[in-house]
């Protein structure tokens, strides 16, 4: 093969290889800046390789590809789970820890979590959380178990939209969230990430934590409300997003 023909084939192969690598990189959960940097770096490397002999070209190219694949495999992968409750509860389950109702002996205070179409942050539906808080106690929430591939350190971020009908300087309820390795069963399991009624309308809340070990390769997450005032209360939750890295 003449050197001219060889160079011609290299010129035809280079765009194809770059295209394949660019498509692969674009599908990864990296930031746009990092993706562009990787693709730009590949272009520079291939331009340099074009000036080398065939053997050096082949060996160097293989080493670069192996290095890129190895680096990408070690890069932390981000998994994102979104739920806007448009079809159903999306695998989320209602749960609670509430006191007994002295006005209805033998029964806990009334509470309910239901999917409604009367109010939403996006789409057509949200979840409505109601509890009779007149005993100045009680926590209700939704929870979900998520399977993960790693049992080593994980960073978990839970964010969601929360609706209060009116603003109040009184602390009527706490907005709470959970992320851990076991099923949340009590109020004490949850972290209060803010107060309800901070604004009239929708407000974003976020809870982040680091799990050092995940023995069962399962992560549990939850969001809800905890009573802080002796009154009945109703709030809404929508657009829950869980990010695990």
Domains of the chain: 3-74 (no CATH), 79-244 (2.60.120.200)
pTM of the model: 0.73
> Are 171 and 195 within 8 A, CB to CB?
yes
Task: Work out the number of other CB atoms within 10 angstroms of the CB of residue 139.
Answer: 24
Which of the four pLDDT bands, split at 50, 70 and 90, describes residue 77?
confident
Compute the distance between CA of residue 78 and CA of residue 206 in angstroms, rounded to an integer. 17
The pLDDT value given to residue 113? 98
Compute the distance between CA of residue 62 and CA of residue 84 in angstroms, rounded to an integer. 45
> Are 198 and 169 within 8 A, CB to CB?
no
For residue 161, pLDDT beyond 70: yes
Query: Which of 32-46, 67-81, 202-216 is most confident?
Result: 202-216
Greater pLDDT, 57 or 216: 216
Read off the pLDDT of each residue in 40-69 and give the average, rounded to a whole number. Answer: 60
Long-range contacts of 115-121 (CB under 8 A, 24+ apart): 115/85, 115/88, 115/89, 116/236, 119/163, 119/236, 120/84, 120/238, 121/84, 121/161, 121/163, 121/202, 121/238, 121/239
Read off the pLDDT of each residue in 13-27 and give the average, rounded to a whole number. Answer: 57
Read off the pLDDT of each residue in 167-171 and give the average, rounded to a whole number. Answer: 96
Compute, in degrees rounded to 10, the torsion defined by CA atoms 126, 129, 130, 134.
-150
The pLDDT value given to residue 11? 46
Which of the four pLDDT bands, split at 50, 70 and 90, describes residue 67?
low
Compute the distance between CA of residue 188 and CA of residue 37 in angstroms, rounded to an integer. 45
Read off the pLDDT of each residue in 40-66 and give the average, rounded to a whole number. Answer: 60
What confidence tens digit (pLDDT) does each residue in 191-226 have?
999 999 999 999 999 999 999 988 889 999 999 999
| Alpha carbon separation from 116 to 77, 91, 94, 128, 161 (Å, rounded) | 34, 16, 15, 6, 15
The pLDDT value given to residue 187? 98
For residue 35, pLDDT beyond 80: no
DSSP letter assigned to residue 134: T
The pLDDT value given to residue 216? 87
Greater pLDDT, 134 or 46: 134
Q: What is the DSSP annotation of 66-119?
A: HHHHHHHHHSPP-EEEEE--SSS-TT-EEEEE--B-TTSTTSBPPEEEEEESS-
What confidence tens digit (pLDDT) does each residue in 112-157 have?
999 999 999 999 999 999 999 999 999 999 999 999 987 789 999 9
Angle of helix 3-26 relative to helix 32-49, nearest 10 degrees?
Answer: 170
For residue 97, pLDDT beyond 90: yes
């Amino acid at each position: 093969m003449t050197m001219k023909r060889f160079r011609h084939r290299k010129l035809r192969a280079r765009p194809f290889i770059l295209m394949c690598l660019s498509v692969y990189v674009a599908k990864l959960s990296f930031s746009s800046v990092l993706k562009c940097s990787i693709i730009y770096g590949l272009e520079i490397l291939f331009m340099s390789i074009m000036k080398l002999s065939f053997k050096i070209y082949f060996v160097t190219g293989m080493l670069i590809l192996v290095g890129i694949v190895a680096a990408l495999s070690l890069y932390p992968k981000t998994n994102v789970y979104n739920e806007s409750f448009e079809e159903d509860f999306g695998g989320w389950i209602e749960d609670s820890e509430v006191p007994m109702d002295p006005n209805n002996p033998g029964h806990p205070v009334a509470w309910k979590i239901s999917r409604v179409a009367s109010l939403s942050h996006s789409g057509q539906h949200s979840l409505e959380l109601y509890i009779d808080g007149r005993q100045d106690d009680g926590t209700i929430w939704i929870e979900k178990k998520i399977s993960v591939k790693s049992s080593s350190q994980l960073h978990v971020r839970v964010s969601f939209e929360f609706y209060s009908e009116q603003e109040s300087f009184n602390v009527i309820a706490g907005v709470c969230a959970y992320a851990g390795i076991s099923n949340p069963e009590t109020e004490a399991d949850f972290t209060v990430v803010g107060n309800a009624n901070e604004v009239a309308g929708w407000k974003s809340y976020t809870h982040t934590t680091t799990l050092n070990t995940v023995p069962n390769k399962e992560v549990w997450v939850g969001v809800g409300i905890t009573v802080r005032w002796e009154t009945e209360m109703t709030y809404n939750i929508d657009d829950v997003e869980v990010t695990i890295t």
